[in-house]
Amino acid sequence: MFKPGVFSVLKPALADIFDVDEDEITPDTDLFDDLFADEYDMVEIAMIIEEEFGVKVSLPKKGPFTVEQLTMKAEK
């Protein structure tokens, strides 16, 4: 299930990491196919989640993996 509160925190961080406009980040955005994430980006995102939400997450190194899926991991 999509987590709007988590999305609102992660959206600006993702826009900054991938150097895109926040409007380009939607729940359906695929981190790998749309934003061209690599494993270093995923480590950075995991660190942001841990800092912001106090949750340690293990993120995939390849896709598909959407922003919606990311929000669900952040609140476990």
What are the residue boundaries of the structural domains of the chain, listed by start?
A: 4-74
Mean pLDDT, residues 66-75 taken together? 90
For residue 73, pLDDT over 80 is answered with yes
Residue 1: pLDDT band by 50, 70, 90 thresholds? low
Tens digits of residue pLDDT in 9-62: 999 999 999 999 999 999 999 999 999 999 999 999 999 999 999 999 999 999
- Please tell me the CATH code under which domain 4-74 is placed: 1.10.1200.10
Chain centre to alpha carbon of residue 35: 10
What pLDDT was estimated at residue 39?
93
What pLDDT was estimated at residue 76?
58
6 in Cβ contact with 75 (< 8 Å): yes
